[in-house]
Amino acid sequence: MPRILDGAAIAAQIKHEVAAEVKQLATQGIVPGLAAVLVGHVPASEIYVRSKVQTCAELGLYSDLITPPDTVTTEDMLDLIGALNSRDDIDGILIQLPLPRQVDAKALLDAVSPAKDVDGFHPINAGRLQAGRPALAPCTPAGVIEILKRSGISISAKNAVVVGRSDIVGKPVAMLLLHENATVTICHSKTRDLGAVTRQADLLVAAIGRPGFITQEMVKPGATIIDVGINRIETREEFDRFFKGQVKPEVYAKREAAFQKRGSVIIGDVHPAAFELSSAYTPVPGGVGLLTIAMLMSNTVRAAKMRRRL
């Protein structure tokens, strides 16, 4: 019976630790601060940013939600980022993506001070991560490592395969696994005979952004599967393809009830049936996604301490 790696429990543990750090910093007159920049009105982004702001309040961090209109220019945004870089009460700057077409997202991400880059996207932080130097690592990849470590799953000397090569997840998670002494292979859409590679994985990280892409025949029995994907299934045809006759009856019943109620379900990049071959896996929902906000809070506190050389 595969072990389910509980993202909610691990996220709660990290938040508890962050809250304790915030209290300790408060005795020195320090309140870590996060600026969240949300441009325009994208419902999914608004919900996500509200969750981040709410979590700041719960853990004792200061937050400043800044909402430029969707007509904002790159120049206006660069001025805003420059002002946030200069504010001593702000330790972390989060630019919620996606941005409107007229805004140069890369220019903005590069304009954020590396010391306040709590998303870990700045080229300087990416370079420091690669070199194994202290850096703010991207939140989701850092969460993957936390899930493995806090679940007692060994990384050292394991064959790790990462499916996906994005700058946000694939590349940094591969680097973090390498720093933990795994032997790492990065795969992508051009990888020849992908299944032959993934079947060698003791640790399989799926971060390719395609629903149910990793199937049973691509998984080594007994592997640990980390599913980073978040994909919404909205049609009965898709739902049946991934769940009907593919999973245990109790799993099907639960997901069917959710589909009937909401008209959609969330699945990851791993086919639900493939988890049955694993020794442990992160569910979707309920897995890696829950770690992202927790690691953002952790990065903000770390940035506050690094800026003050604590």
User: Quick one: DSSP state of residue 96?
Assistant: P
Q: Which residue has the tokens 């060698």?
A: 200
Q: Which of 52, 116, 171, 220 is catalytic?
A: 52
Count CB atoms within 10 A of the CB of residue 141.
29
Q: Helices 289-307 and 43-59 meet at what angle, rounded to 10?
A: 50
Q: Which residue has the tokens 């795994």?
A: 182
Distance CA 303, CA 199 (A): 39
Annotation says 79 is catalytic: no
CB-based contacts of 159, cutoff 8 Å, min separation 6:
182, 183, 185, 200, 201, 202, 203
Question: Buried b / exposed e across 227-247, counting CB within 10 Å, b at 16+?
Answer: bbbbbebeeeebbeebbeebb
Closest CA to 122 of 153, 98, 92: 92
Annotation says 158 is catalytic: no
Q: Which of 6, 91, 96, 171 is catalytic?
A: 96
Count CB atoms within 10 A of the CB of residue 101.
8
Distance CA 82, CA 111 (A): 7
Q: Which of 6, 91, 117, 119 is catalytic?
A: 119
Active-site residue list: 52, 96, 119
